[in-house]
Structure 1
Amino acid sequence: MGRAEARRAQQQRGARRAPGGRAKSGKDGKGSAGKPKGIRRFFTWKKILGTFFGLMLLGMGALVFLYYSVEPPDPNEKATLQSNVYKYSDGTLMARTGGLNREILPISKIPEDVQTAFIAIENKSFYKDSGIDVMGVARGLFNTVTGKGKAGGSTITQQYVKNYYLTQDQSATRKVRELIISLKVDQRMEKPEILAGYLNTNFYGRNAYGIQAAAQAYYGVDAEKLTLEQGAYLAAVIQAPSQYDWATAGPNGKRLVMIRFNAVLDNMVEMKKLTPEKRKEIKFQEPIQPKAPPGMEGQKGYLVQAAEDELDRQGIPESELKAGGWTITLNIDKNRQAAMEKAVQDELESKLDRKDTKKRPVDQSVQAGATSVDPKTGAIVAMYGGLGRSQQWNSNALRTDYQPGSTFKPIVLASALENKATTQDHKPINPNTLYDGTSKRKVVGSDVPFNPQNQDDKDYGDPMMTVQEATNWSVNSVYAQMIVDTKPAAVKKTALELGMQDRDGWPGDKPAMTLGTMSANTLEMAGVYATFDNHGKKVTPTIVKSATHKDRQFKPAPAIGGQAITRETADTVTKVLTGVVNEGSAKVVKSSAYEAAAKTGTTEKNVAGWFTAYTPELVTVVAIFGEEPGTHTQVTLTGAAGGGRAGGGTFPAEIWQAYTLAALKGVKTGEFKLPDAEMGTPQVPSRSASPSSSPSQSASTSSSPSTSRSPSNSPDPSQSSTKPDPSTSQSPVKPSTSQSPVKPSTSQSPVKPPPILPVPGN
């Protein structure tokens, strides 16, 4: 068939498919010529694939452009570190910190197994990769762009580039530059050289930059003498130096750093750089105690520590602070700070014999801490951390390894008032509610058996007494029943709302919580009592007034928040605590110079004594702790200064008063304005037949209690305190005029209360 015949045949077939010579559209949306119609014309497979490969080519072109256009810059600001300036609240200079604590070492000076420890935890493929981890970078960029957290997945090369050339910010732009520079650095430098740069530029905490400074700071040796155990810890600590420093870490920080420490060693086994047999023999080696840097003598080091901790919590990490260039003004009042230091010296240190370890060994174990806060602004105006960071590294004002004892009891009362709790016989709990004050009385309504004894196992009230009187004398049996009536879970909720922290070891829903068996520090307890003082508005004490840097904007979090508890609850608690000063265990600080509210506290075995008190102008928490030098074991304070028990009503109360009188000198002091305080209706118990009657098992009122408010058994003369307890010099305990409790029966002579000595929980 010729070409003409073939053309005619094709035309005939086309005519048969479309009679009349007109093409028809098919069901597939194509015309007779097979061409797509409508929007499908723009989304063919060919076009999609073409677009995809086109974008890939553009991306590759962009990367090539970036690769050739981005060069490693000059070393960042840490290479020329600036000082930080710390100022008092009036703008006068307090301290200046700076100077980079670093000594550059060649890789040959760093033990090989220490090198491997860092590689094992940070970048196991270090010697094989090209300087970047593509998947890790993609994950990090995604997290940064979507706001899901800090970019992660960096190789050792990338971390070195970030430390040496770039900054610590987490922007996508910085991450891309880090990626390009890391590729170039990996091509231009040998792996051992990169590893040395990484180890020499890391921040390890304790003001240590680089492996040599870290070896000295944590183990007191040069880097070339580090053991594998020590190197594994340093490799673990760099992830979060402030949190993981063994000397200052809390239980959770120690747990986390031990997880990383073990991961270092396990990864080394996986890499066949450590045998399983030797792995089993390796034990954690605890670092030495930190030493204060020059210029941080006295309380300055503690104040800087508190400021850095606060800034870290608000988003400025320690590594960024250590890079320098900051001007940080504290809320610390220079005059009040001096008054605090003088009060501790006069009322405690001058009475201890720290030199003769054989004559009075307990004196070597006494540590003091304090925090003072303006309740109207939340400003920390004074703080005492200890003898100095060269002798006591961790601030006693911030330590959380001791319990607050009975200074927690006002929180129980606040929760009862806030939740409108009732006694077991459905009577509302208020300052005039009657409770059984019998020592070792079994609480009613608790799933957990609990029958705490009162101080020196004394019975109070024979046996009924008001909540006000139970607070005055810190009666454990009353507050044990009150927390069960209120519900421990509700009390914990109130405590957290007031500013306490839910740390490991919180007693949960156990009624023993009423004795202050959780951990706390003077800072958070000052916040709790400042909230009472501030009529229930939440106070979060803050030490940083301002922090400025030419490259960074910082705005401190507000110190005063909304209502944590109602004004009625807060004012009622304050009113009750004024009774503790006027008629109870804090009477030693009663003065015509101010009106005060207070609570004493002593922990189990007398290992700590607390005094939390406030005036309308100032809230101050003072505590003393028994800590054996060297071992840091908690030990008793009994025998301090050659006396007996040293509870909250002794040294801490005297420090508080000496400081408060000096701090308020020249200040027009006022009285508490408590119009909303609700004291409740006085209840009148009848007198029991005998003071030795068996303890009542009732939770609140009884038909036959005595009106006596004194313990029913005598104190042990051998248990005398270092100084006369506030209760020993009092006249017979009479009801406060503001509460109008029952008057003593005319047939019974007033009974002078004997000395009340601190015991666990008081």
Structure 2
Amino acid sequence: MTWKRRVLKVVKWGFITGLVLTLVGIAGFIYLYKTTDIPEPNAELLTNATFVYYDDGETELGRFATQFRDSLTYEEMPQNIKDAVVAAEDQSFWTNSGIDPKGILRAVFNNASGGSQQGASTITQQYVKILYLTQERSYERKVKEAILSLKIQREYSKEQVLTGYLNTIYFGRGAYGIEAAADVYFNKKAADLTLRETAVLASVLNNPNGLDPADGKAVRLELKGRYEYVLGAMASEGYITDEDAEQARRKLPKFPEQDVEDSYGGQTGHALTLIKNQVLGLTNAETDAPFTEEEIDGGGLRITTTLTSKAMKAAEEGVEEVRPKGFPGAKDLHLAAATVEPGTGALRGFYAGQDFLDSQLNWAVAGGQAGSTFKPFAVAAGLKQGFALKDTFDGNSPYEIEGTDDEVENQGDEDYGSAVSLTSATENSINTAFIDLTIAMDDGPESIIETAESMGIPPAKAKRRGAYGIPTSSPGLEPVTGVALGSQTVSPINMANGYATVANEGVAADVHVISKVVNKAGDVLYEHKVTDERAISADIASDVSYAMQQVTEAGSGTRANLDDGRPIAGKTGTATKDGGAVSSSWFVGYTPQLSTAVMMVRGVGNGQLDDWVPSSEDGVDGYFGGNYPAKTWKAIMERDLEGVDPEDFPEPAFVDGEAPSDGHAPYTPPPAPSTTRQPPKTPSIDPNPPTSEPTQDPSPTQEPPPTQEPPPTSPPEPPETSTPPEPPQTSAPPTSPPAPAPPAGPPNPRERSRSPRRRPSRTRRAPAVR
């Protein structure tokens, strides 16, 4: 056989082999095309960021996102960005069949030779790879990509493909899609992008991690080269004129300064965590089921909250202004605050105690032992049962609880007399008087808890139905004799809402932070309806408020008074744990417009505050609720009430019902002896009872108990004490024996209470707080 015949034979068989292989390849491709179904899209690429707003529904507070994306329709996308991406990525997009045969062959040869994969994929192929496949670099994936691209091309229009691509492609900085990219690079909507800005984004998507203009001059220089290419391609394709391209080439657009702060830093992380938890407990009207995390993180929801940027800023700045600093372990001190609007229950602002990046524990929600801030609920309960502010209770210390080995003492073991008015007991935070009140009531502990719950304090354990509060429980809220002294754990949010009921003349509203939830189309999925209910009568509310006004006028809360002189009411509180160490310190107060609670705790919430928190400049112990908490309350409310007109509280009603037990009638001093030579002596005056209540003789049914010492006829001498004395209150009529008249000086936060203590021979000490 001649060599020519041999060559012809090789060519023949080579042709036949090639033809067979080609036919087999075509047949295989047809088979794969027919047997390959379009898979489910990668779930995260169908997500949209959920945006969270302040109460105005416009100012963004934060967002939830599996991937930060906010999808647009084709019509909503600016024409410049569509033209720029097509010119830069796939100039034949509008005419090709969805695949790039050259790119497929290049992938085959590069994989066979061990080289790196090169580009030249169409927009359709890139979209398929993103939406359905993985970033694996292999021949098999490239073939599958081509098959799916052909199928997508037949099932979807070019406009649909380009829309999907521009909504899913990654632009860097955590942004997926053109709307998110416009936000993170230029702080604007995609619809507002200029030609220069669209050319930058079309350039960046080619290499998101390598062309970010925030990465320095060298990167900007590289970006400039790609940017000029994109503008030139747009001009050559006829999307813009040569003049427009030349003018835009001269310089890159201005880039706003990038916010490098973590999106969850400061109080934002605390707010978003609180908001997510609250939304998870709501029902989606569209599905008639609770919202899910998937809906929140990727459902494109729009959540409007009750929070205001003013109140959030006021809380943070107020805490930081007053917080003691520079002492050992100062980072372990947590000052938390919450502000609630009376009448609506809307949470307007809070401070969690620290930056979210330092600790994710929100002390405005976690709370602490309430201490004496719980006493106003006991006042309300007592008035409901028929007692009056002028009625008297045992203010001497210690108070022995009949039938037990327990006894309760006042701060400094101070005696206030055997018959002090309920007003005085509140003003001076007299523990023994509140124990006497509780025992004198019908089912006192239960009544106090019932009243507190009706006013907005959640029960010890959350109820499955009708749960309210943030959080929905108050651990330790049990019907014990010392419940008014506050050993239970209550959150500042719930405490602020409980006091807001008094500010709202006795009508309680459920505290809430979610105002409205809508989907991306604007359909309302949830909208809060204010639910309120009368908890106490308006007259009782005015009397409770009157008693708390005395706390801020002359009692332990004077440091909370606002510079503009507007009326305020409030109560200090300091709780002690087993062993007597102070574990929490409070001031809770309100005006008719806002109610704010401030709590101070240490470490994990029960660290010792006394002998640790430094005294203030005026020498008052740092742990008192009337010190840092009261001053923090003032700093917050000064900011929050700026520009808000002052309002007065209702006048006290001085309700006086049918008391449930005897022995608590107002004290009336006996007439002073008189002679023919001297005028009668003026009766001694109790500085604490209501100013407008006339003097009354004790009724026969309200005599002091036989075991009680008769009331003194003149003010007792003030006992020696190591704590700074309270300033006297100077305007009140005589209805009960006067409290000791202390010398002038800084107000003493007499709110620290002690639990029943143990006497070696006959008593036992039990932890108690107030």
Q: TM-score range by the shorter chain?
A: 0.5 to 0.7
1:484 and 2:450 matched: no
Whether the 8 Å contact between 2:340 and 2:347 is mirrored in structure 1 is yes
Other-structure match for 1:595 = 567
Match of 2:389 among 405, 417, 431: 431
Other-structure match for 1:558 = 529
Number of residue equivalences: 459
1:617 and 2:597 matched: no
Judged with a 3 Å threshold, the aligned counterparts in structure 2 of structure 1 residues 362 and 642 are, in CA distance, closer, same or farther, namely farther
* Amino acid of the structure 1 residue aligned with 2:561: K
Judged with a 3 Å threshold, the aligned counterparts in structure 2 of structure 1 residues 743 and 459 are, in CA distance, closer, same or farther, namely closer
Other-structure match for 2:451 = 494
Other-structure match for 1:391 = 358
* Amino acid of the structure 1 residue aligned with 2:634: Q
Distance 1:72 1:531 in 2: 59
Give how far 1:378 is off: 2.0
Q: Bigger CA drift: 75-84 or 300-309?
A: 75-84
Match of 2:338 among 371, 396, 407: 371
Whether the 8 Å contact between 1:606 and 1:759 is mirrored in structure 2 is no
Match of 1:627 among 581, 596, 603: 603
Whether the 8 Å contact between 1:744 and 1:750 is mirrored in structure 2 is no
1:80 and 2:58 matched: no
1:333 and 2:308 matched: yes
Q: How do 1:253-268 residues align onto structure 2 when only pairs under 5 Å count?
A: none
Whether the 8 Å contact between 1:369 and 1:385 is mirrored in structure 2 is yes
Whether the 8 Å contact between 1:580 and 1:587 is mirrored in structure 2 is yes
Give how far 1:324 is off: 3.6
Residue deviations 1:488-521, cap 9 Å, x none? Answer: 1121111222222223553532102121111110
Match of 2:279 among 306, 311, 327: 311
Match of 2:66 among 91, 99, 113: 99
Distance 1:714 1:394 in 2: 42
Give how far 1:564 is off: 1.6
Whether the 8 Å contact between 1:441 and 1:697 is mirrored in structure 2 is no
Give how far 1:559 is off: 3.5
Residue deviations 1:110-137, cap 9 Å, x none? Answer: xxxxxxxxxxxxxxxxxxxxxxxxxxxx
Judged with a 3 Å threshold, the aligned counterparts in structure 2 of structure 1 residues 299 and 433 are, in CA distance, closer, same or farther, namely same
* Amino acid of the structure 2 residue aligned with 1:626: R
Give how far 1:536 is off: 1.2
SS of residue in 2 equivalent to 1:517 = coil
* Amino acid of the structure 2 residue aligned with 1:656: W
Structure (1 or 2) with the larger CA radius of gyration: 2
* Amino acid of the structure 2 residue aligned with 1:376: G
Whether the 8 Å contact between 2:410 and 2:432 is mirrored in structure 1 is yes
Residue deviations 1:670-716, cap 9 Å, x none? Answer: 1012464527885314699xxxxxxx994997533355387x42222
1:535 and 2:491 matched: no
Whether the 8 Å contact between 2:711 and 2:737 is mirrored in structure 1 is no
Distance 2:42 2:540 in 1: 54
Other-structure match for 1:544 = 514
Other-structure match for 2:548 = 577
1:668 and 2:645 matched: yes
Q: Bigger CA drift: 671-680 or 504-513?
A: 671-680
1:683 and 2:638 matched: no
Whether the 8 Å contact between 1:541 and 1:559 is mirrored in structure 2 is no
Give how far 1:327 is off: 1.3
Structure-2-length-normalised TM-score: 0.55
Q: How do 1:47-66 residues align onto structure 2 when only pairs under 5 Å count?
A: none
Distance 1:416 1:513 in 2: 13
SS of residue in 1 equivalent to 2:500 = helix
Q: Bigger CA drift: 668-677 or 581-590?
A: 668-677
Judged with a 3 Å threshold, the aligned counterparts in structure 2 of structure 1 residues 700 and 338 are, in CA distance, closer, same or farther, namely farther
Other-structure match for 1:639 = 612
Distance 1:520 1:554 in 2: 31
Judged with a 3 Å threshold, the aligned counterparts in structure 2 of structure 1 residues 755 and 530 are, in CA distance, closer, same or farther, namely closer
Other-structure match for 1:344 = 319
Judged with a 3 Å threshold, the aligned counterparts in structure 2 of structure 1 residues 682 and 369 are, in CA distance, closer, same or farther, namely same
* Amino acid of the structure 1 residue aligned with 2:569: A
Give how far 1:362 is off: 4.2
Judged with a 3 Å threshold, the aligned counterparts in structure 2 of structure 1 residues 606 and 709 are, in CA distance, closer, same or farther, namely farther
Distance 2:525 2:716 in 1: 55
Give how far 1:593 is off: 2.7
Whether the 8 Å contact between 2:44 and 2:66 is mirrored in structure 1 is no
Match of 1:734 among 727, 730, 734: 730
Give how far 1:449 is off: 4.8
Identity of aligned residues (%): 23
Structure-1-length-normalised TM-score: 0.55
Give how far 1:450 is off: 3.8
Give how far 1:306 is off: 2.0
SS of residue in 1 equivalent to 2:512 = coil
Other-structure match for 2:219 = none
Other-structure match for 2:88 = none
Whether the 8 Å contact between 2:373 and 2:486 is mirrored in structure 1 is yes
Judged with a 3 Å threshold, the aligned counterparts in structure 2 of structure 1 residues 72 and 634 are, in CA distance, closer, same or farther, namely farther
* Amino acid of the structure 2 residue aligned with 1:683: Y
Distance 2:624 2:63 in 1: 38
Whether the 8 Å contact between 2:610 and 2:622 is mirrored in structure 1 is yes
Judged with a 3 Å threshold, the aligned counterparts in structure 2 of structure 1 residues 752 and 430 are, in CA distance, closer, same or farther, namely farther
Residue deviations 1:256-278, cap 9 Å, x none? Answer: xxxxxxxxxxxxxxxxxxxxxxx
Distance 1:522 1:466 in 2: 29
Whether the 8 Å contact between 2:427 and 2:554 is mirrored in structure 1 is yes
Whether the 8 Å contact between 2:343 and 2:501 is mirrored in structure 1 is no
Q: How do 1:132-171 residues align onto structure 2 when only pairs under 5 Å count?
A: none
Give how far 1:340 is off: 1.8
Distance 1:707 1:307 in 2: 58
Distance 2:55 2:406 in 1: 48
Give how far 1:750 is off: 7.6
SS of residue in 1 equivalent to 2:408 = coil
Q: CA RMSD in A?
A: 3.4
* Amino acid of the structure 2 residue aligned with 1:471: T
Judged with a 3 Å threshold, the aligned counterparts in structure 2 of structure 1 residues 330 and 507 are, in CA distance, closer, same or farther, namely closer
* Amino acid of the structure 1 residue aligned with 2:508: K
Distance 1:371 1:473 in 2: 25
Distance 1:524 1:667 in 2: 24
Distance 1:362 1:464 in 2: 44
Distance 1:490 1:581 in 2: 27
Residue deviations 1:388-427, cap 9 Å, x none? Answer: 1111211110004x2111111111111111233xxxxxxx
More helix by share: 1
Other-structure match for 2:409 = 453
SS of residue in 2 equivalent to 1:703 = coil
Give how far 1:759 is off: 3.8
Distance 1:390 1:636 in 2: 25
Distance 2:557 2:376 in 1: 14
Other-structure match for 2:398 = 440
Judged with a 3 Å threshold, the aligned counterparts in structure 2 of structure 1 residues 488 and 392 are, in CA distance, closer, same or farther, namely same
Match of 2:375 among 409, 413, 424: 409
Other-structure match for 1:657 = 634
Distance 1:98 1:493 in 2: 42
Whether the 8 Å contact between 1:532 and 1:574 is mirrored in structure 2 is yes
Q: Bigger CA drift: 576-585 or 643-652?
A: 643-652
